[in-house]
Amino acid sequence: MQQVATEIEELSLAERAYRAIRDRLVMLEIRPGAPINEEQLGQSLGVGRTPVREALKRLQYERLITTYPRRGTFATEVNITDLAHISEVRLELEPLAAAQAARRATATDRANLAALRRELDSAGAPGRDSAGLMHLDLQVHRAIYTATHNPYLEDTLVRHDNLATRIWCLFVDRLSDMAGHVEEHGPLIEAIVSGDADTAARLARSHVEGFEQAIREAI
């Protein structure tokens, strides 16, 4: 029993480490190309090396870190040429996810989305910093993916949205209407909550197209 309890605790710590390190990489708090120090990460998160190593295995699969023989592990570089490839996937899967969320969302899912919709009302408020807006953007996307109740679709889209967000963070200082981009989620959430799958799919596709255009204009 003690061994089982230890394994469960270890899994929990590994998941906690994974989410924390993932979001630091996505938000560029760990800069592209920066070395990954397992011991320092463990200390900052209050966990041992084993959970950190488990987290890093997942993050390497998700293209957020890269390991080089005899050199070490580093945060992956953000390559703008990846934008077209990422958008190609998202243009197909984001509308699908929005439509499925509209069809399948539970009462709890819809309540969570409605709460995020209310938070979007203050996205353009004075003093709202870019980091806060990007965290809100991530929350909205992840809530929509969760509401699809398709774990394979959710995992795929979370990975691609993370990569897209890294590109966004790289050019955030050049984007003219970041709050407006985040506020675009309002009608999308309303369509999902009301169960309008066709409108949700159309708005999701338009959002991805607008994101790619905004980044290209900022380059």
Decide if pLDDT at 2 tops 80: no
Q: Are residues 46 and 67 in the same domain?
A: yes
Q: Are residues 67 and 90 in the same domain?
A: no
Q: Are residues 15 and 91 in the same domain?
A: no
Question: Mean pLDDT over residues 85-106, rounded?
Answer: 97
Q: Number of structural domains, the chain? A: 2
- pTM recorded for the entire structure: 0.87
Decide if pLDDT at 3 tops 50: no
Decide if pLDDT at 180 tops 90: no
**Higher pLDDT among residues 202 and 126, named by residue:** 202
Question: Mean pLDDT over residues 129-149, rounded?
Answer: 92
Q: Are residues 100 and 206 in the same domain?
A: yes
Q: Domain holding 91: CATH number?
A: 1.20.120.530
Decide if pLDDT at 122 tops 50: yes
**What is the DSSP annotation of the chain?**
-HHHHHHHHHHHHHHHHHHHHHHHHHTTSS-TTPBP-HHHHHHHHT--HHHHHHHHHHHHHTTSEEEETTTEEEEPP--TTHHHHHHHHHHHHHHHHHHHHHHH--HHHHHHHHHHHHHHTTTTSTT--HHHHHHHHHHHHHHHHHHTT-HHHHHHHHHHHHHHHHHHHHTGGG-S-HHHHHHTHHHHHHHHHHT-HHHHHHHHHHHHHHHHHHHHHH-
Residue 134 confidence (pLDDT): 87
Structural domain for 34, as ranges: 2-75
Q: Are residues 210 and 166 in the same domain?
A: yes
Q: Are residues 59 and 145 in the same domain?
A: no
Q: Are residues 109 and 152 in the same domain?
A: yes
Q: Are residues 108 and 198 in the same domain?
A: yes
Could you say which of 56, 75, 94 is where a domain stops? 75
Could you say which of 75, 103, 125 is where a domain stops? 75
Residue 80 confidence (pLDDT): 87
Could you say which of 25, 43, 75 is where a domain stops? 75
Q: Are residues 179 and 146 in the same domain?
A: yes
Q: Domain holding 49: CATH number?
A: 1.10.10.10
Q: Are residues 110 and 202 in the same domain?
A: yes
Decide if pLDDT at 9 tops 80: no
